Structure 1
Amino acid sequence: MRRRPLTALAATGTALVLSACGLTSVSEHSAEGGSGPYPLTVENCGADVTFAAAPERVVLLKSAAVPSLAALGVLDRVTARAGEYPRAYYDDATWAALEEVPALTGKTDTSGHLLVSKEVVIEQEPDLVLGEVDNLSRETLAAAGIPLVEEPAMCAEGLAEPGFDDVVAQLETYGRIFDRTEAAAAASAELEQRVAALTAAPAADRRTAAVLYPTVGGGVTYAYGTRSMAHPILEAAGLDNVFADTDERVFEVTPEELVGRDPDVLILLHSAGDPEAVVEAVTTLPGAASIAAVRDGELMPLLFNYVEPPTPLAVDGLEQVRGRFGS
């Protein structure tokens, strides 16, 4: 699949196909005697999701959609949230709005996945749930008449070639779901301008980099390949992904493999907690001292949503990576 220019995603009519992001507006017709684009059906993770009206009671099971909802001015539609929402992601106004939203639970399993019961979510009477979790599937919610929308990159099939255009595409999809297309267009234009300003010019002496998710306390280290948003972020920042030959989103990597790839720069993702813990998790790996990035101190802890999935926070992530390592 060829990478599309960002500007190619501006809406040109009432039906817009967003094939690369996996979330497609397949029907957009005004109901007789109604207003707006409803009923509206979108395809998400291979399932049709229909809205009779703009959602008014939204439950968040993941934090990824927050920047888009804030940009559209619909964060006040969120009536409950679950999971972790690190303060660093948000400006003061967004954080103040989030603090007003009741928190259902922050409980997670040993791998960091949210644990929330069906009953707790259904009790909120949501007309939209954003983010799918392992023990509360789309099918379970559909049986209760509750639609779910997941970030396309987090669907089982993922994205074949993630990029900043997917940030714009998903933002514009939320704009249609909430009947905020003008706000989505304005926010998308601003994001496009920021990405253009932050994208490094080609250089012959680009450094190499890897984006990792280390397991704190010992265990598996994960790396990100070309099906992750990490790849275009590195490219835009003027860095070459040492795993550019890996056609996967995320995968296990051994210390030996990491030493062999010998990246000049390491970006270390974490979801919460002490950022220095992920640095220690990598620097204490067998042979880590021989990796150029470790030897030269070129390690950057970064909160997960600054890289994955493609949301407006990925543009903030690019800005941070470019500020630290870019030319």
Structure 2
Amino acid sequence: MRIPVRPAALASLAALVLTGCGAEVEPTTDTKAANSHYPVTVENCGEKKTYAKAPQRVVTNDVGITEIMFALGLEKNMAGFVMPDDKGDLDSVPWKGGYSKVKWLSKKQINKEMALDARADLVFAGWNYGFNEGEGFTPADLKKVGIDSYLLSESCRNGRGGTARGVMPPLDALYADLRNLGRIFDVEDRAEALVAKFRKQVADAQAGALKGADRPRVFLYDGGQDKPFTSGLYAAPHDIITRAGGDHVMKDLKDSWATVGWETVVERDPEVIVINNYGDTTAEQKRKFLKSYPPLANVSAVKNDRIVVLDYAELVESPRNPGAIASLAADLKKFGVPRT
């Protein structure tokens, strides 16, 4: 019995024969299009970085960074993610499917050995979001073993040799990373669609937010008892608070995340406090501390019990930031801080 051979199969067989004979085979149109995109060069934390092709085994550190990859639909380009299991709800986000598709490599601090074991070709992390000179885990250390890196823009250092972080407004940092990664992975249409969606979500929240003299003073409390750890001008909470209709009391702190003194908090008298919910200390424990700490007894937010809780993943650079703006805007309007 003679079995008919399809034209496509004949073409494939011919290509194999030609290849075996050392003949050059003309790339397909799709292959040409894919190859023409590379190399690509992007600017990341003031440094121009060139990628010859899309990384295929990315390791991410922390929840916000991991969800940026998921939001862009890049699960297939990931070897895994590293993060503790104290970063809040992972089930209610639109891209929750990514957590079932990508391997959770470790709940401990990321290090070079983890990246090597995962055969990573790129690590997406940030200064103090995984990268740390004290731990011997930096982009330079990875480069020595042949692993590339991409830095979270919220974490960019804003001075040579310094530790202060942040070089652009927080939401701009998110949009910059989405667009850069869109180019690096050749998914620019997805990146632009996300940026447009997030811009509209933020604009809609701002349209109904408190304005002018009605804006309450807001302080972000991350943790700490002797001294509070909080957010400055370049961390996501600054844009979340201000675009939600609040006046960020630490807007003059030219850093992303930093420690301040309680006397500064008392002096600026926030009318609303936002608790960053993560870690071994629960949001309720943080609330109880704020309510019971004597120096804060006359602070307006504590005295009037105007305390809001947002999850860590909403308050670091991540695709959850626009939703956090909408949520906080509603809370601030609900409080309706009276003006005398």
TM range (shorter): 0.7 to 0.9
2:252 is equivalent to residue 230 of structure 1:
no
Match of 2:28 in 1: none
Match of 1:97 in 2: 98
Poorly superposed stretches of 4+, deviation over 4 Å: 31-34
Cα distance change of structure 1 residues 284 and 58 upon mapping to structure 2, 3 Å threshold: same
Q: Aligned runs of 1:254-273 on 2, under 5 Å?
A: 254-273=261-280
8 A Cα contact 2:201 2:323, kept in partner:
no
Match of 1:202 in 2: 211
C-alpha offsets along residues 122-164 of structure 1, whole Å, 9 cap, x if unaligned? Answer: 1211121110422221011101111111211112223344143
8 A Cα contact 2:153 2:174, kept in partner:
no
Cα distance change of structure 1 residues 180 and 151 upon mapping to structure 2, 3 Å threshold: same
Match of 2:313 in 1: 305
What displacement does 1:243 show? 2.3
**Unpaired segments ≥5 residues, structure 2:** 1-30, 159-164
Q: Secondary structure at the match of 1:145?
A: coil
The answer to which of 142-151 and 67-76 deviates more is: 67-76
Tell me how far apart the structure 1 counterparts of residues 60 and 168 of structure 2 sit (CA, whole Å).
26
Question: Which of residues 115, 120, 123 in structure 2 aligns to 1:126?
Answer: 120
Cα distance change of structure 1 residues 225 and 288 upon mapping to structure 2, 3 Å threshold: same
Match of 1:175 in 2: 182
Match of 1:275 in 2: 283
RMSD over aligned Cα, in angstroms?
Answer: 2.4
C-alpha offsets along residues 298-324 of structure 1, whole Å, 9 cap, x if unaligned? Answer: 111222231222x32211211221121
Q: Aligned runs of 1:287-306 on 2, under 5 Å?
A: 287-306=295-314
The answer to which of 226-235 and 88-97 deviates more is: 88-97
Cα distance change of structure 1 residues 87 and 78 upon mapping to structure 2, 3 Å threshold: farther
What displacement does 1:99 show? 3.1
Cα distance change of structure 1 residues 168 and 106 upon mapping to structure 2, 3 Å threshold: same
Cα distance change of structure 1 residues 130 and 291 upon mapping to structure 2, 3 Å threshold: same
Tell me how far apart the structure 2 counterparts of residues 73 and 60 of structure 1 sit (CA, whole Å).
14
8 A Cα contact 1:271 1:304, kept in partner:
yes
Q: Secondary structure at the match of 1:290?
A: coil
TM-score, L = length of structure 2: 0.76
2:224 is equivalent to residue 211 of structure 1:
no
What displacement does 1:106 show? 1.4
Tell me how far apart the structure 1 counterparts of residues 90 and 323 of structure 2 sit (CA, whole Å).
9
Match of 1:80 in 2: 80
Higher helix residue share: 2
Tell me how far apart the structure 2 counterparts of residues 72 and 256 of structure 1 sit (CA, whole Å).
43
The answer to which of 121-130 and 240-249 deviates more is: 240-249
What displacement does 1:87 show? 5.0
8 A Cα contact 1:37 1:179, kept in partner:
yes
How many residue pairs get aligned? The number is: 287
Tell me how far apart the structure 2 counterparts of residues 201 and 55 of structure 1 sit (CA, whole Å).
44
Tell me how far apart the structure 2 counterparts of residues 242 and 34 of structure 1 sit (CA, whole Å).
48
8 A Cα contact 1:278 1:301, kept in partner:
no
Match of 1:5 in 2: none
Tell me how far apart the structure 2 counterparts of residues 162 and 187 of structure 1 sit (CA, whole Å).
18
C-alpha offsets along residues 209-229 of structure 1, whole Å, 9 cap, x if unaligned? Answer: 1112112xx443123232332
Q: Secondary structure at the match of 1:269?
A: strand
Match of 1:25 in 2: none
Tell me how far apart the structure 2 counterparts of residues 164 and 92 of structure 1 sit (CA, whole Å).
19
Tell me how far apart the structure 1 counterparts of residues 91 and 313 of structure 2 sit (CA, whole Å).
11
Tell me how far apart the structure 2 counterparts of residues 307 and 247 of structure 1 sit (CA, whole Å).
17
Tell me how far apart the structure 1 counterparts of residues 93 and 153 of structure 2 sit (CA, whole Å).
28
**Unpaired segments ≥5 residues, structure 1:** 1-30, 108-114
Tell me how far apart the structure 2 counterparts of residues 173 and 223 of structure 1 sit (CA, whole Å).
28
2:146 is equivalent to residue 152 of structure 1:
no
The answer to which of 281-290 and 174-183 deviates more is: 281-290
